[in-house]
Amino acid sequence: MASTTKGDCGPAILLLADGTVFYGRACGAAGTATGEVCFNTSLEGYFEVLTDPSYAGQIVTMTYPQIGNYGIDPADVQSAFPGDIHRAPATPALRGMVVRDMCRTPSNWRSTLSVPEYLEQQGIVGIEGVDTRALVQHLRDHGAQMGIVSTEEFDLAVLADKLAAAPQLVGENLVQTVSCFKPHSFTADDLPAEHEFAFSACATRRAPYRVVAYDCGVKRGILEGLVRAGCSLTVVPWNTPASEVLSVNPDGVFLSNGPGDPDAVEETYAQVQELLGKVPVFGICLGHQMISLAAGAQIEKLKFGHRGGNQPVMNLLTRRVEITAQNHGFGLVFPSLGALVPELSGGVAAHPANGDLRFWVERGIAPVVENERFGRIRLTHVNLNDGTAEGVQLLDHPAFSVQYHPEASPGPTDAHYLFTAFTRLMDGEPDYLNIDIASDRLHGWSF
């Protein structure tokens, strides 16, 4: 191995909580790490995955067989800010990485270092040579589960003891480990010059929309998407009181993505309860779950979650299918929001017994429930793979949310229109979600 591009790499091991073992080679930092083992189905964008704060507490398996072939450009980092704004500046939040084949000799004009070099620099344990098809199939059959990866300990009994003593993902507030700890601005001046070759000039407006963005582990690409839509952002910590937000009289409030169990982030959704109805609100991913919890809904842990840049979602309002970028392991139980309003739900009076929301896709209906706290709430988006809820709209208050990421870092641009929808909501347009996503999907790109 020393005479190949792989170099003189040592052995590594991955042990799952159910006792399943995978052996491979080290391709990152030396050490031992525990976390929930999950998988991402993206064909590209591994660096954005590496630096997405939503992966805090997880060991990520990439399903694409070769990772690292185009290297890394630090300009693509998704951890929002360096310096004294975040508790762990520029450090990836994930615990480990699992791949089939790791490329150590990248070829790309933007690349400045390889993925193995980056993992070693950042102290992230990596393992390659794993049969990732078998691992992903196992996780799909048995569900995402805790695991331990090591390049220094190979005694299964010792590894099992360490894994048993590790903190669980459910019930742990990981948002507080990745959020900023003081407010800061993000404007057009903060857009990376390295990306100018791909984008046209961002939207200009005589008076930019003044938006307060809750940082629950926000990706930088999402902030950039908001700015390009015409927003000037004040980014605040995850537990900022609603009274402080309302005191600055913003045009809107944005609730970001973030890691872990949403039920453990009570200090955020308690603030959302106070914000809804008083200011336009847009939430994505964890922000979608925060709105749902604020409305008294139930959140469930999905068997193996949605992670990747190729998740099909039906927009029930436009009847168009969006290919979306997603990263979450929990989801909204839509019936828990309230009873159906038959006259607004195609005459249907009862939620489908099996909980599969593709029931509404087949009928071409965007159903509405009556919520005890916030009135009428409409289901707007459904995942076509498993029939779970992907978006809701409050009809009696200016607020909407989606479970996925609209900014294509990494992933497609089909859901870009949601940034525009947020600005239309702040402008008071009643039909703000009625946007032709086919014409909008490439908006802002220069090629």
In the annotated binding site, the residues are: 54, 258, 260, 286, 289, 327, 329-330
103 noted as active-site residue: no
Given a contact cutoff of 8 angstroms between Cβ atoms, the answer to whether 174 and 259 are in contact is yes
Candidate list 138, 328, 397, 405, residue with the active-site label: 405
Among candidate residues 138, 285, 322, 381, the one labeled active-site is 285
Q: Is 202 considered catalytic here?
A: no
User: 177: which DSSP letter?
Assistant: H
- Residue length of the chain: 447
Q: Can you say which residues are annotated as belonging to the binding site for L-glutamine?
A: 54, 258, 260, 286, 289, 327, 329-330
- Asked if 199 and 107 touch (Cβ cutoff 8 Å), the reply is no
CA separation (Å) from 43 to 61, 105, 256, 309, 310?
Answer: 12, 18, 24, 8, 9
Burial of 392: CB neighbours in 10 Å, binned 0-12, 13-18, 19+ = buried
Residue 351 annotated to the active site? no
Distance CA 314, CA 336 (A): 21
Query: Is 262 in contact with 289 (CB distance < 8 Å)?
Result: yes
Secondary-structure percent of the chain, ordered helix, strand, coil, rounded to 5: 25, 30, 45
Tokens for 330? 């929990």
Q: 252 CB contacts (<8 Å, ≥6 apart)?
A: 209, 210, 211, 212, 231, 279, 280, 281, 282, 422, 425, 426
Please identify every residue annotated as catalytic: 285, 405, 407
